[in-house]
Structure 1
Amino acid sequence: MDYSLYRPASARSGDLVLLGHGFMRDRERMTGLAESLAETGLTVAALDFCNARPWDGGHVQNGFDMMALADALGARRRVYAGFSAGALAALVAGRNDPRALGVVALDLVDADGVGRLMARGMDRPLIGLFGEPSACNARGNGLAVYAAAPDASVQRIAGANHCDFESPTDWVCRLVCGSPSADGARRDAVLRATTEAIRSLTAGAAG
């Protein structure tokens, strides 16, 4: 699979954050978040999913592909994160990978109950950031996923639409889901909150 690796000189050996993009998108939509995390000293791998088709997201296999990439890169401690359908794949990976520290989900969209099934068996932290309900996030159906998890915390980004959780977004997302905040304030809030959430998982495990 294709992926981009962000490895700062100050990174702790063996730690890895894996980022999954949204449905029918690509890893370039996660660049801003990957760079934000790398600036704090975390090694990040953003990958392109291979299994999604317009009629089938391939979410479970995408999750196992995230695990396979973490294994190939020799990561000993992993945080899985993703946006929309990529958040669902990250949840699959975090639920099934014994080396996972937890999962950070950005405006997660569930499909066929996969998210709720994974969440019920999750024995690690699940942190969710979500925006306003809309057609693009299935009217906020990810909230039911967090409710099913034994150890979940959620943070609402007030006024954020689905595109605010991509960095950068593009005209395709704006056309389908509406324009994000013109000044980028909500996107910046998402980046800060996501970075803090992922750092809390790695710091908590280190402590």
Structure 2
Amino acid sequence: MPCQSKFTAVWFACLALVGCFGGVMPEAPRPAVASRPSQRQASDVRIEWGRVQSATGCALDYAWYRPDSAKPGDLVVLAHGFLRDKTRLSGLARALAETGISVVTVDFCNTRPWRGNHARNGFDLIAVANRLEARRLVYAGFSAGGLAALVAARNDPRTLGVLTLDLVDAQDLGRLMVREFDRPVIGLFGEPAPCNADNNGLATLAAARRARVERIVGASHCDFESPTDWLCRALCESDRAGERQRRAAILARSVTAIRALMAE
């Protein structure tokens, strides 16, 4: 797919330069033992880091945002985009947690520059939800992470609904997942561009039984990350004018959409 191809080319170039992400600050030190997660308290939101093993054997690191007022068993699972990481949705995670919703962000471990493994990523999201003993779930994701969220939602009977952020489909996997899916799907979309495969996710949601599309006028693919970084901007953002306002609007709409889905 176009977005994946662009990221792949840059990824290999970065490897030659000792890695694109070497200078990016991690969200927190990753725990060495999954059964002893590390914790940090910030206002009334506790953040807990842990690790779950994928069925393929690799480690899925997660950050669990746990507000004191969260309803036990309720959980939002956030999925990052292709070759990204969970820090790129930390802003949305915190915004949701500050409204009293428990949220987890996950680092995919089965994605490769040459292969997205989107279906596997979806089942990995379910594995994290199982570890956290979720009973009522909303899956949400950015770009290819939205595709993984659809896979997870379609295969998890606890799902209340799905939020996709500038969804990118691959080989019609998303369209396959939404057929016969009877839960609501909300999709926020920016302007068509190579990095969102010219809005190919719109066709995916058009095949869903209960879909709602919201367009964010002028939004680039990067506007749906919170925060984004120089790499996404270099690949996917030709004009940064108004990005703060657009990102704030996307964050607010995302929180509203997820709260509505949790009320289903």
Please indicate the TM-score interval, normalised by the length of the shorter structure. Answer: over 0.9
Any gaps of 5 or more consecutive residues in structure 1?
none
Stretches of 4+ moved more than 3 A in 1? Answer: 179-183
Any gaps of 5 or more consecutive residues in structure 2?
1-59
For the Cα contact (< 8 Å) 2:190–2:219, is it kept in 1?
A: yes
Of 25, 29, 36, the residue aligned with 2:88 is 29
For the Cα contact (< 8 Å) 1:160–1:181, is it kept in 2?
A: no
For the Cα contact (< 8 Å) 1:77–1:100, is it kept in 2?
A: yes
Cα deviation for residue 203 of structure 1 reads 1.6
Which protein is richer in helix relative to its size?
Answer: 1
Residues 1:116 and 2:180 are matched in the alignment = no
For the Cα contact (< 8 Å) 1:20–1:81, is it kept in 2?
A: yes
Cα deviation for residue 180 of structure 1 reads 4.2
Q: Deviations over 1:22-61 (max 9, x none)?
A: 0000000001000000011000000001111111101000
Residues 1:163 and 2:222 are matched in the alignment = yes
Equivalence for 1:172: 231
For the Cα contact (< 8 Å) 1:20–1:86, is it kept in 2?
A: yes
Q: Equivalents in 2 of 1:2, 1:182: separation in Å?
A: 33
Aligned pairs for 1:84-95 within 5 A: 84-95=143-154
**Structure (1 or 2) with the larger CA radius of gyration:** 2
Equivalence for 2:249: 189
1:98 match: secondary structure: coil
Cα deviation for residue 182 of structure 1 reads 4.2
Q: Deviations over 1:79-126 (max 9, x none)?
A: 000000000000000111000001000000000110111111311111
Q: Equivalents in 2 of 1:158, 1:26: separation in Å?
A: 26
Residues 1:136 and 2:195 are matched in the alignment = yes
Of 180, 203, 207, the residue aligned with 2:263 is 203
Q: Equivalents in 2 of 1:22, 1:119: separation in Å?
A: 19
Matched residue type, 1:190: I
Equivalence for 1:148: 207
For the Cα contact (< 8 Å) 1:84–1:106, is it kept in 2?
A: yes
TM-score normalised according to structure 2 size: 0.76
2:226 match: secondary structure: coil
For the Cα contact (< 8 Å) 1:16–1:43, is it kept in 2?
A: yes
For the Cα contact (< 8 Å) 2:223–2:243, is it kept in 1?
A: no
Q: Equivalents in 1 of 2:240, 2:159: separation in Å?
A: 32
Question: Once superposed, what is the RMSD of the aligned Cα atoms?
Answer: 0.9
Residues 1:5 and 2:59 are matched in the alignment = no
